[in-house]
Amino acid sequence: MTDRSHYTRRRIVQLSSAAAAVGLAGCSSASTSGGESDSESTGSSDGEDHSGEDDGHDEGGDEQSDDGGHDDGGHDDGDGHGGVGEPTPTAAVDMITTDDGGTHFAPHVARVETGGTVTWTLESGSHNAAAYHPDNDQPQLVPDGAEAWDSGMLSEHGATFEHTFETEGVYHYYCTPHEGVGMIGSVIVGEPDAHGQPALEEPPADKPQAVREKIVELNEMCNEALGHGHD
Ligand SMILES: [Cu+2]
């Protein structure tokens, strides 16, 4: 038990240090932190061993190799982690349950132009795609003024849902039954400034650890796509 709680606590330390690093990496947004970017260790507090934790990118690497674990044959899961690319008029996202029960959106980060449309297609399992939006009883992880969406549950192979994005910015969304196991994805619309995107802030404190970790991972991918977050 002691070991276990130590483990949990250590994950929390890692997560907040990763989040802090993401926040610090070139992003002196609005307030604070600007002056302290050289002393990241202040952010990670209380003397646990965080050698190698202070850059936050190691974390991302970990999560990604985890994901590689449920690569299913026919599907090019590599897309899920590849470069996000430039905005295009349309983008396609598959909703997948793998043979070993893993679930995900592929690619994890889709990108369209402002006014562009994303189409979700059910490949396997039963899933939905819903915005982190107050209208869905969720914290706001979409741009200010953006519309909410919820596809409703799709359970027939090949079923699709589309949403047109009129507001530029970064959006996170989730699958209701699988959010807790990290079935969360992102849509980047247009060429937003990473500063001031609610989605890219530290993940909501009241979300379970697995959800927070996934959001941190997505934020790194989004920041990278926006040329923001790596030196
Ligand atoms: Cu799902």
Instruction: Please state the domain extents for the chain.
Output: 2-225
Largest CA distance in the chain: 53
Architecture of domain 2-225: Sandwich (2.60)
Rounded distance from Cα 57 to ligand 1 centre (Å): 27
* Dihedral sign of CA atoms 180, 137, 21, 27 in order: positive
Rounded distance from Cα 121 to ligand 1 centre (Å): 12
Strand partners, 111: 188
Q: How far is CA 14 from CA 57, 117, 201, 212, in A?
A: 11, 36, 16, 12
- Cα separation of 54 and 39, whole Å? 10
Q: Ion ligand 1 — residues with CB under 5 Å?
A: 103, 127, 175, 178, 183
Strand partners, 172: 186
Rounded distance from Cα 190 to ligand 1 centre (Å): 26
Give this prediction's pTM: 0.66
Per-residue pLDDT for the chain (231 aa), expressed as one digit of tens each?
444 444 444 444 444 444 444 433 332 233 333 344 444 444 444 444 444 444 434 443 344 444 433 333 333 444 445 578 899 999 999 999 999 999 999 999 999 999 999 999 999 999 999 999 999 999 999 999 999 999 999 999 999 999 999 999 999 999 999 999 999 999 999 999 999 999 999 999 999 999 999 999 999 999 999 987 544
